[in-house]
């Protein structure tokens, strides 16, 4: 990862984003770029940024984020911070400090921040957007947020980059033409709102850079929006947020100089490569965390190692739940230099997963981020060397097209982490931690010991591993907190 | 034979508190000490590096858990628990007896050992003193514990209590016999005898006669009255040799540590600080705060003012500058929230013992104890727990005075 802060951009306005295309072979082709923001680490593109949940990359505490070299940038969804809205002012807006969002989530000063409204990927909401509001999902349920509110939040939180609100009905399979018209109208209106809000900011306030959303609909259905974007807003925006990479062809030439941030969720490294080949610059990659939660340690390099004979395609990851790894004292990946691979071996990680110790997911997450980091380093080298297309072909031939299936159980899932339609499904989202023996089992156990006394439930410490389920805690009184509420002794 | 040296540095001139350095195979540790519990070879989400940064140089693993997962064969193949979890510092393992009885209500103790059913497949299993030591030899921990016959201290059955005490002594002999590496692993005996002081005295005499490198007081922290607890600790330490470390098992509330140190104990372990962290509870000098309470949602101060843990330390000083409001924001929602609070709580406990040690060395422990209770109860002497006042009174510190 590039560690040196941006240099020689002193002549730019204090918060202006600079994006230089270093190499491009035309539209719909991979390109190399350099994105700089004052005071932040410069990022060479194509690259990925961290995908945060409630201010942290899942499983990576802030000190570990620093120890792992940190990423150059992170994506932060506003919906993670505004569950008190609209009844109360969310705490995040009450911080009286410079750079309040960064301070609140303890992000290093040199990591750039991208603020968006929804998590990546967003969970579909049952409430439709209106002309002034989008609906989102906070940790306590569905909420609506006005465009005005979002713009004000951006001014207050001082992120480096803000992604304009996009009117996209997430989760809706078929979108009618009329609705698409509305999407483009509203997105334009909301983009104008945030530009206006930014223009109204005081001299001394730190400004943000705006990325304009490009909708996942055909060009002629968002032509008005795109036209207006080019006519009066192109000098007000610093980048574009792309929701459908396969429509990059439709992107007006006048926007080609801008950095492109992908919200087109890739399912595999192959899909990432496809997007890179179309000229995408920046990514949030939800599959990193999905793999980590599933206990899958990613294991691929770009270009792949030489293929030996007719050997079958290699898996893109290792299922760390595999009992065969229990005595494997080798690192996850031989050449990997991440903290998980240099300090620990497969046997320990397999143990941590099967013992449901949180550290298992921590180590896999650290490793998986390192794998993607070197993946992008290699992608850039490959583009530089002009071998990208050939390397993609060998990659596709060498690896399975999809990530391995999840076999083990992940950490506890939270309400804001699964799709709302899944609420309707029967069965528990998390398995029961405690279970009672049935009558037959109790009789059997008593017989085994010749005991006739009452038999208590099996107490299993695994119940305490991970996190405790939490309902709304607002009503808890401080007086109720006392030493001794938990059982003592291991 | 011992694989440790106990370097006594100072004794409090009023109480029975001692400050020492215990030199163990994986480096020196300061006494008195709190030892966090990494039950299954992992301290609840923290990397070994994070644990090390909070100042920890000696932590626990549980023999029972490691015996089930990853199992002895894996431990042997990997070369012991230090290598298994990449922990370069000291480890202490308990014998597995306590878990047998506390986690498996169906365990049955016979002279041979503890008979129980495997939680994995229900097959009958037997943990003997020999097997426990063999497991701990495979684990390779720096301090290993004898298998003891643990019963609830509150048990009214005197005959059973006596039997458990006598059996624990017999099992110690079997453990000593079975111990393969006395030159690199220190076997500690465990004094049993419930709350009966005569039984405890008798057991202490028997155990001391076996001359193990260190001595533990077991069977406590099982729900007995604090008065009774203090009497047992006080009685036992009074009979123990001065030049050996004394470990009170399963103790972990800050008040308990401070009082037990005054009663002459040196080492403590407890899962409470790390477990309670996962419930959103932060340990501070002014008491335990449940950060999930809405009053903290807009509290942009550190978890504890002045705390030097990784979370609380200011960014200017190389810390993270984590606020209570942020802990409120992530606790029970992201595992990282649990990791942050776990680090803080471990740091608090280790630092409390570090401060106690310094106070003993400077011979101002009584003042330290008074300051500690004053802060914890907001200088309201009416709130001081009676058991602590009484126990400290017994070693020459009048908490209510001055």
> B362 to chain A, minimum CA–CA distance in Å?
30
* Cβ atoms of residues B399 and B384 within 8 Å: yes
> Touching check for A439 and chain B: CB below 8 Å?
no
Partner residue facing A476 (CB), from B37, B250, B293: B293
Q: How far apart are CA A91 and CA A138, in angstroms?
A: 14
Q: Are residue B9 and residue B121 in the same domain, yes or no? A: yes
Q: Is the pLDDT of residue A55 over 60?
A: yes
Residues B212 and B337 in one domain: no
Band of residue A70 on the pLDDT scale cut at 50, 70, 90: confident
Interface probe for B, chosen from A61, A338, A412 (most Cβ of B below 10 Å), is A61
pLDDT above 70 (res A30): yes
**A25 band by pLDDT with thresholds 50, 70 and 90:** confident
Cα A432 to Cα A226, A428, A436, B121: the distances in Å are 51, 8, 10, 18
Residue A238 pLDDT grade (very low, low, confident, very high; cuts 50, 70, 90): very high
Last-in-domain residue among B240, B270, B300: B270
Q: Label the pairing between strands A141-146 and A133-138.
A: antiparallel
> What tokens appear for B113 in the block?
């050992």
pLDDT at A414 over 70: no
Q: Are residues B165 and B35 in the same domain?
A: yes
B221 & B338 share domain: no
B171 shares its domain with B72: yes
Q: Quick one: B182 and B91 in the same domain?
A: yes
pLDDT under 50 in chain B at which residues?
none
Residues B184 and B295 in one domain: no
Q: Is residue B113 part of a domain?
A: yes
Residues in chain B: 402
Query: Looking at CA atoms only, how far is residue A248 from chain B in angstroms?
Result: 35
Nearest by CB to residue B330, choosing from A54, A355, A485, is A54
**Residue A84 pLDDT grade (very low, low, confident, very high; cuts 50, 70, 90):** confident
Residue A97's closest chain B neighbor by CA?
A: B300
Domain count for chain B: 2
Question: Which two tokens mark A484?
Answer: 């001794």
Report CB contact under 8 Å: B332, A467.
Answer: yes
Annotated catalytic residue: which of B173, B269, B299, B317? B269
- Whether B73 maps to a domain, the answer reads yes
Best residue of A359, A360, A414, A460 to probe chain B, by most B CBs closer than 10 Å: A359
What is the phi-psi region of residue A34: left when phi exceeds 0, alpha when psi lies from -120 to 50, beta otherwise? beta
Distance from the A228 Cα atom to the nearest Cα atom in chain B, whole angstroms: 40
Residues B260 and B310 in one domain: no
What is the secondary structure of A142-182 as a DSSP string? EEEEEHHHHHHHHHHH--SEEEPP----TT-S---HHHHHH
- Residue B398 maps to a domain: no
My answer on whether B154 and B298 are in the same domain is no
Contacts of A411 in chain B (CB under 8 A): 335
What's the distance, CA A75 to chain centroid? 7
Mean pLDDT of A450-478: 34
Give A393's contacts (C-beta < 8 A, 6+ positions apart): none
Binding residues of B: 94-98, 148, 192, 219, 307, 309, 312, 344
CB A414, CB B330: distance < 8 Å: no
By the 10 Å C-beta count (0-12 exposed, 13-18 middle, 19+ buried), A392 is classed as buried
Q: Does A99 touch chain B (CB under 8 A)?
A: no
Segment A201-222 shows an average pLDDT of 93
What's the pLDDT band for A488 if we cut at 50, 70, 90?
very low
Options B94, B142, B149, B266, the catalytic residue: B94
Supply the mean pLDDT for chain A: 85
pLDDT at A340: 96
Architecture of A9-424 per CATH? Alpha-Beta Barrel (3.20)
What pLDDT, on the 0 to 100 scale, is given for residue A267?
95
**A419-428 pLDDT tens trace:** 555 555 556 6
The verdict on a CB contact (< 8 Å) between A468 and B73 is no
Question: Of the candidates B47, B279, B337, which has its C-beta nearest A362's C-beta?
Answer: B47
Residue A175 C-alpha, separation from nearest chain B C-alpha, in angstroms = 34
Which structure tokens are listed for B382?
A: 């009416």
CB A281 within 8 A of CB A259: yes
pLDDT mean over A294-321: 91
Question: Given CB atoms, is A28 within the 8 Å cutoff of chain B?
Answer: no
Q: pLDDT of B143-174, one tens digit each? A: 999 999 988 777 788 999 999 999 999 999 99
Does residue B248 share a domain with residue B224? yes
pLDDT digits 0-9 by tens, A94-107: 999 899 999 999 99
| Residues B278/B299, Cβ–Cβ less than 8 Å | no
At residue A406, the pLDDT reads 85
Distance (Å) of CA B341 to CA A369, A470, B66, B269, B292 = 24, 16, 25, 18, 12
What CATH number should be reported for the domain holding residue B79?
3.20.20.105
Asked whether residue B245 falls in the same domain as residue B181, the answer is: yes
Mean pLDDT for A184-211 is: 94
Q: How far apart are CA A101 and CA B300, in angstroms?
A: 12
Q: Which segments of chain A belong to CATH 3.20.20.105?
A: 9-424
Only one residue has tokens 């260190």, namely: B214
CA gap B57, B36 in Å, rounded:
10
Q: Are strands B18-24 and A317-319 parallel, antiparallel or unpaired?
A: unpaired
Query: Which chain B residues are Cβ-neighbours of A468 within 8 angstroms?
Result: 278-279, 332
- Reduced to 3 states (helix: H, G, I; strand: E, B; else coil), residue A218 is coil
**Quick one: CA torsion of A202, A208, A209, A214, rounded to 10 degrees?**
-110
Give the domain extent around B318.
281-385
**Contact of B26 with B142, CB cutoff 8 Å:** yes
Best mutation target among B85, B94, B334, B387 (most A Cβ atoms within 10 Å) is B334
Instruction: Write down the pLDDT at residue A308.
Output: 75
Nearest CB partner across the interface for A489, out of B48, B65, B270: B270
How far A476 CA sits from the closest chain B CA (Å)? 6
**pLDDT (tens digit per residue) in B107-124:** 788 999 988 877 777 777
Please state, in angstroms and rounded to a whole number, the distance separating the CA atoms of residues B351 and A35.
44
For tokens 């009286």, name the residue.
A96
H or E element, residue B166: helix B158-178
Nearest to A104 among B70, B119, B326 (CB): B326
ipTM of predicted assembly, 2 dp: 0.96
pTM of the model: 0.90
Same-domain check for residues B253 and B304:
no
Is the minimum CB–CB distance between A455 and chain B shorter than 8 Å?
Answer: yes
Farthest CA pair distance, chain B: 62
Tell me if residue B94 is catalytic: yes
Q: Are A161 and A239 in contact (CB under 8 A)?
A: yes
Confidence of residue A13 (pLDDT cuts 50, 70, 90): low
- Asked if the Cβ–Cβ distance from B40 to A355 is below 8 Å, we say yes
């Amino acid at each position: 990862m590039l560690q040196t802060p941006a240099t020689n951009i002193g002549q730019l306005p204090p918060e202006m984003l600079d994006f230089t295309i270093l190499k491009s072979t035309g539209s719909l082709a991979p390109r190399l770029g350099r994105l700089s923001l004052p005071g932040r680490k410069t990022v060479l593109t194509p690259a990925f940024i961290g995908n945060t949940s409630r201010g942290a990359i899942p499983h990576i505490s802030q000190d570990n984020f620093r120890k792992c070299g940190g990423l150059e940038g992170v994506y932060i969804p506003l919906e993670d911070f505004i569950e008190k809205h609209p009844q109360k002012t969310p705490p995040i807006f009450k911080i009286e400090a410079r750079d309040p969002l960064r301070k609140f989530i303890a992000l290093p000063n040199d990591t750039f921040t991208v603020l968006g409204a929804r998590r990546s990927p967003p969970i579909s909401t049952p409430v439709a957007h209106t002309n002034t509001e989008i609906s989102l999902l906070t940790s306590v349920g569905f909420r609506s947020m006005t465009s005005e509110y979002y713009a004000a939040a951006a001014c207050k939180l001082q992120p480096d980059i803000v992604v304009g609100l996009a009117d996209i009905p997430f989760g809706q399979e078929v979108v009618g033409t009329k609705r698409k018209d509305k999407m483009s109208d509203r997105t334009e209106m909301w983009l104008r709102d945030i530009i206006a809000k930014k223009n109204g900011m005081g001299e001394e306030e730190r400004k943000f850079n705006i990325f304009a959303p490009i909708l996942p609909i055909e060009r002629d259905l968002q032509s008005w929006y795109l036209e207006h974007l080019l006519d009066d807003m192109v000098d007000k925006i610093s980048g574009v947020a792309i929701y459908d990479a396969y429509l990059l062809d439709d992107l007006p030439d006048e926007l080609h100089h801008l950095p492109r941030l992908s919200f087109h969720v890739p399912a595999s490294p192959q899909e990432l490569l496809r997007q890179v080949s179309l000229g995408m610059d920046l990514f949030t990659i939800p599959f990193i965390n999905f793999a980590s939660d599933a206990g899958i340690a990613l294991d691929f390099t770009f270009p792949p190692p030489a293929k030996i004979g007719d050997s079958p395609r290699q898996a893109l990851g290792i299922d760390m739940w595999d009992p065969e790894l229990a005595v494997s004292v080798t690192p996850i990946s031989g050449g990997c230099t991440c903290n998980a691979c240099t300090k620990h071996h497969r046997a320990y990680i397999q143990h941590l997963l099967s013992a449901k110790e949180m550290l298992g997911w921590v180590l896999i997450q650290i490793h998986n981020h390192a794998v993607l980091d070197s993946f992008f380093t290699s992608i850039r080298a490959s583009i530089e060397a002009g071998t990208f297309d050939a390397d993609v072909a060998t990659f596709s031939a060498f690896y399975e097209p999809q990530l391995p299936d999840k076999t083990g159980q992940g950490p506890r899932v939270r309400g804001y982490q699964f799709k709302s339609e899944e609420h309707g499904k029967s069965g528990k989202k998390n398995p029961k931690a405690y279970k009672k023996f049935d009558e037959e089992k109790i009789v059997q156990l008593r017989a085994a010991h010749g005991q006739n006394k009452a038999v208590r439930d099996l107490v299993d410490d695994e119940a305490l591993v991970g996190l405790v389920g939490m309902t709304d805690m607002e009503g808890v009184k401080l007086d109720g907190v006392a030493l001794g509420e938990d059982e003592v002794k291991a | 034979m011992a694989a440790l040296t106990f370097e006594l540095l100072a004794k409090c001139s009023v109480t029975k508190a001692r400050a020492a350095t215990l030199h163990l195979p994986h480096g020196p540790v300061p006494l008195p000490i709190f030892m966090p519990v990494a039950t299954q070879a992992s301290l609840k989400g923290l990397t070994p590096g994070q644990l090390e940064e909070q100042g920890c140089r000696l932590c626990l693993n549980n023999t029972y858990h490691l015996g089930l997962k990853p199992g002895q064969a894996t431990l042997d193949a990997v070369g012991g628990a230090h290598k298994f979890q990449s922990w370069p510092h000291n480890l202490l393992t308990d014998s597995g007896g306590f878990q047998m009885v506390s986690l498996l209500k169906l365990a049955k103790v016979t002279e041979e050992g503890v008979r129980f059913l495997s939680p994995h497949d229900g097959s009958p299993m037997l943990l003997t003193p020999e097997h426990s030591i063999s497991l701990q030899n495979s684990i390779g921990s720096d301090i290993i514990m004898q298998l003891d016959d643990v019963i609830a201290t509150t048990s009214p059955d005197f005959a059973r209590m006596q039997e458990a005490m006598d059996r624990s002594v017999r099992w110690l002999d079997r453990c000593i016999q079975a111990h393969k590496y006395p030159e690199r692993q220190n076997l500690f005996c465990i004094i049993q005898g419930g709350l009966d002081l005569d039984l405890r005295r008798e057991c202490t005499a028997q155990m001391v006669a076996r001359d193990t490198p260190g001595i533990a007081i077991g069977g406590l922290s099982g729900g007995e009255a604090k008065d009774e607890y203090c009497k047992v600790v006080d009685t036992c330490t009074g009979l123990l040799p001065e030049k050996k470390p004394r470990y009170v098992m399963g103790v972990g509330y800050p008040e308990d540590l401070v009082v037990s140190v005054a009663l002459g104990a040196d080492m403590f372990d407890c899962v409470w600080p790390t477990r309670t962290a996962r419930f959103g509870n932060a340990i501070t000098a002014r008491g335990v705060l449940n950060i999930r309470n809405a009053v903290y949602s807009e509290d942009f101060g550190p978890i504890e003012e002045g705390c030097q843990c990784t979370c609380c330390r200011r960014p200017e000083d190389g810390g993270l500058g984590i606020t209570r409001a942020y802990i409120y924001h992530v606790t029970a929602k992201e595992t990282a929230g649990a990791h942050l609070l776990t680090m803080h709580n471990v740091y608090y406990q280790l630092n409390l013992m570090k401060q106690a040690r310094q106070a003993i060395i400077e011979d101002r422990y009584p003042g330290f104890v008074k300051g500690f209770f004053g802060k914890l109860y907001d200088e309201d002497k009416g709130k001081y727990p009676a058991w602590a006042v009484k126990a400290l009174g017994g070693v020459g510190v009048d908490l209510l005075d001055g």
